[in-house]
Amino acid sequence: MAIRNNHQKSRGLWNTRFGFILAASGSAVGLGNIWKFPYIVGQNGGGAFVLIYILCTIVVGLPIMLAEFTIGRKTSLNPVGAFQSLKPKSHWVKIGYMGVLAGFFILSFYAVVGGWTLAYVVKAFTHTMSNFSSPKEAGQFFGSFIANTWEVLFYHALFMAICVGIVLRGIHGGIEKACKVLMPTLVIILIFLMFRALTLPGAMEGIEFYLKPDFSKIGPQTILIALGQAFFSLSLGMGCMLTYGSYLPEQENLTSATVYVVIFDTIIALLVGMVIFPAVFAMGLEPTEGPSLVFSVLPAVFVGMPFGNLVSIVFFTLLAIAAITSGISLLEVVVAYFIDQRKWDRKKAVLVTSVTIFAFGVPSGLSFGVLSEAKLFDMNFFDHVDNIASNYLLPLGGMLTAIFVGWVWGTKSAEEEIEKHETKFHWGHVWGFLIRYISPVAVFLVFFAKFV
Ligand code: TRP
């Protein structure tokens, strides 16, 4: 016990349960909720997709998140160290390495988009975007911005620097403190935006599209997209939640924390829809635009609405905050590996990894400008890194984590950890069933659907 406590103290611990829940929610709520979710809903027929997404979150996402938290708290280690300590020298340790690698890859392009959000906050402040006459014009503006080498690199570096500034200060003093300020700010901003959007004339049409399920638009492909999105949005499959769980003291209740984080992430995604669809429909535009929905349709939407410039500043600040609290969680996974396994001090780990991740991200940043012609199989560098990490490493990692907990380490050992300090785990058998049978099979289907 004493050894464990000393080890834990030297790595850092969350100060309060609430702080941990905010930090984990901060990791989950990110570009996935605000940038990706609305355009995916827009492309996949609205309400019916939302229902399927919620189902995937509960049936697959929730059990895997609890599994990650449990491994993390049990071992108090980074993903590599955690699998190493539960099954020493086995092939399962590779799940941990895959996770750290995925964290490295995801942050390298996530920070590029994070940089775009910072740039848009500045552009909104300086009224650079207040005279678009059509979404087409806003789209051209976005296109020429992301092609501008120096501007993109500057904001990309700025985003990394902000993450570094936070992660350098450690778990309690850095990540927890930052999330305690940023997450409530995010919620307040979102409520403000929702009021603005819902009081626009014509808003109801958007709400109808968003909430009225039309099952004719649902096919097998839709389910796969929903499951992939649930994974990414909940930060699962690469040991991110595992790492955050490793800073938890023993007496915390893991099941209720999992439920809070999942509910929070889902509610935020749903509320973002309540902002974007009413606004898009009220301005007579289409929500089927795809990835450029947030960066090129919304600025045009804001121009046409009362207090549009303020709304624009506030919206992109929301996007930037969400990206930062997720970026730090990705960086922390890589940093924790070097601290625990390589015995580096935090400062060295943060500086070396972040500079390397930034350097690796540069070709992603330039993928829409000078490197836009550098394509392999019709995808640029950015697309490739995103594809390898999000479509291969994450689902594979999630599926193997579920199999590991369900069949190798065993649900019994996991439940023992969950029930420590007399914590009741009422739905233990349901969870055991989901993690052994449902989650691995569901992820397997998503994964192999890519090949057929
Ligand atoms: N969940 C975040 C989002 O929605 C992104 C993210 C952070 C992530 N950490 C992760 C995704 C780990 C997958 C794995 O934007």
Distance from C-alpha of 168 to C-alpha of 154, rounded to nearest angstrom: 21
Best mutation site among 69, 233, 396 for ligand 1 pocket (most ligand atoms within 8 Å of CB) = 233
pLDDT category of residue 4 using cuts at 50, 70 and 90: low
Query: Are the beta carbons of 252 and 72 closer than 8 angstroms?
Result: no
How confident is the model over 346-380, as pLDDT tens digits?
A: 999 999 999 999 999 999 999 998 888 888 887 88
Tell me which residue has tokens 């051209």. Answer: 140
The CA 31 to ligand 1 mean position distance, Å, reads 8
CA of 229 relative to ligand 1 center, distance in Å: 10
- What digits encode the pLDDT tens for the residues 19-68? 999 999 999 999 999 998 998 898 888 889 999 999 999 999 999 999 99
Q: Which residue's CA is the nearest one to ligand 1's atom 13?
A: 235
Q: Give yes or no for a contact between 20 and 248, defined as CB atoms under 8 angstroms apart.
A: yes
With tokens 């399920």, the residue in question is 213
Indicate if ligand 1 lies below 6 Å from the C-beta of 330.
Answer: yes
Locate the ligand 1 atom nearest the alpha carbon of residue 327 and give its number: 7
Quick check: CB of 339 below 6 Å from ligand 1? no
Beta-carbon contacts of residue 226 (< 8 Å; ≥ 6 apart): 44, 49, 52, 53, 55, 56
Whole-number Å distance, alpha carbon 221 to ligand 1 midpoint, is: 22
Pairwise CA distance, residues 66 & 50, whole Å:
23
Rounded Cα distance, 396 and 68, in Å:
14
Query: Cα separation of 365 and 130, whole Å?
Result: 26
Q: Which amino acid is at 253?
A: N
pLDDT above 80 (res 345): yes
